Amino acid sequence: MSKNDIKIAESKTVESKPFQFYIQTVGRGQKRRRSLTQAEAQDAMSMILAGQVSEMQLGAFLMLIRVREETPEEAAGFLQAIRDVMKAPNCEVDLDWGTYAGKRRQLPWFILALTILKDKGYKVFLHGVVGNESNRLYTKEVAELLGWPMADSLAKAKTMIETSGFCYLDVKDFAPQIKTLMNYRDELGLRSPIHSLARMLNPFNARLSVHGVFHKGYDDIHQQSAALLDDQMTASFCGDGGEAEVRPDRKTEIKMVENIFDDHGERVTSIDQAWSFFMPKTYLNSDPTDKCLDTDVLLAVWQGKAEHAYGQAAVIQTLAMALMALDNLTLGEAFATAESLWLQRLAS
C-alpha cells in the first residue's frame, strides 16, 4: 500500500452516509450548520464522482458550499477523492501548472516563462480547460502555436514529459468528471468549488505546483489545503485574470507551502511549512481598458521581432517567482537569472 493509499484510508474515519446528510450539514440554519471535516468532504466527493448523487442534490450542495466558500479541510478532502479516481502513473515532474481561467485582457505571457523553464531543463506539466466564452483566450491555443506536445491521457503525458520534458493535457482527458462539474456553471450561473479545485489537481505530485486564483482569500485556502495534503511544494497567488501569471503592475503576495518528508516518507511536522513572499511592482499601472489578445503579438515578442513592455515584465516576474521556489534563489538572484534567460532565448 502506497503512502497516498495509507493517507486516504486513515482519513476515512467516518462511515459513508446518505448524501442528504452532507447537504443538511452545510445547509442547516445559521446556528446548526457547519463545514465538513476533511474525511466527510472526501466521502461526499467520492459519492459525486461515483454518480451516486442526483443533479438536484449536486446543484444544491455545490451552491451551498459556494455561498460561504469551501474551507481548507473541505478542499483537501475533495482533492483526495478526485486524485484517488485519477490514478495517475508515477512520473517525475518539476513544475505543475493549471490554467483554467482564460485571459480577457492580456495575452497569456506566462506560457513563455514555462517554455523558458522547459528549455532550461525543467520537466513541465501544463493542464487546463478550453471554455466556451468567446471573449477569453484559452492557453491551449497558444501552447499549440508554440509547439507544445498535446497529450490525450495521463499515460501519454508521462511519456511526453519523460521524452520531451513538457506537454499540455486537457482536464477532460484525465479527469472528465471535473470538466462535467465545471460545466454546471452554465446552468447555475455561478462558479463552484470545482473551478478552484481544478487548479490544485497536480496529478503527478510535482516538485512545485503553481495555482493562480482570481479573488483574494482563495490563495489562503489553497495554501492551507496544501498543508493538509502530501504535495511537495505549492505556490498560490492572485494572478492576472485568475491565471497563474504574476502581474508586474502590482505587488503580489505568493503563498507557499513545502511539505518535508524524512527518509521513510513520513512528513516532518516540526518544519514550519507555510510562508509567503512578495513579488515587487516593476511596471507602472497598466491601462485596464487596454486589451491585447492577438497571439501574433505574443509570437513576435517571443521571436524577438517586437517589443511589449508589459508582456516582457510579466514573463520575467512569473519566471523569477518560479525560480525562487525551484532553485531556492533570493529575489535579486531570481530576477537576474530570469532576465538573463529571457535574453538567451533568442540564441537557443
Q: Where are the domains of the chain?
A: 3-86, 95-347
- Looking at residue 285, what is its pLDDT? 77
- Does domain 3-86 sit in CATH 1.20.970.10? yes
pTM over 0.85: yes
> Strand pairing partners for 237?
212
Same topology for domains 3-86 and 95-347, yes or no? no
Decide: residue 214, CB within 10 A, 0-12 exposed, 13-18 middle, 19+ buried.
middle
Q: What is the pLDDT of residue 200?
A: 95
- pLDDT beneath 50, residues of the chain: 1-12
User: By C-alpha distance, which of 71, 103, 80 is closest to 193?
Assistant: 71
Q: Which fold has domain 95-347?
A: Pyrimidine Nucleoside Phosphorylase; Chain A, domain 2 (3.40.1030)
Which residues are registered as beta bridge partners of 257?
234, 274
pLDDT given at position 7: 43
Question: Tell me, what's the pLDDT at 269?
Answer: 61
- How far is Cα 164 from Cα 124, in angstroms, rounded to an integer? 10
pLDDT for 158-189, tens place per residue?
999 999 999 999 999 999 999 999 988 888 88
Dig out the grid coordinates for 47 from the structure: 459519492
Residue corresponding to grid cell 495575452: 107
Instruction: Give the pLDDT score at 3.
Output: 42
DSSP-derived secondary structure letter, 238: E
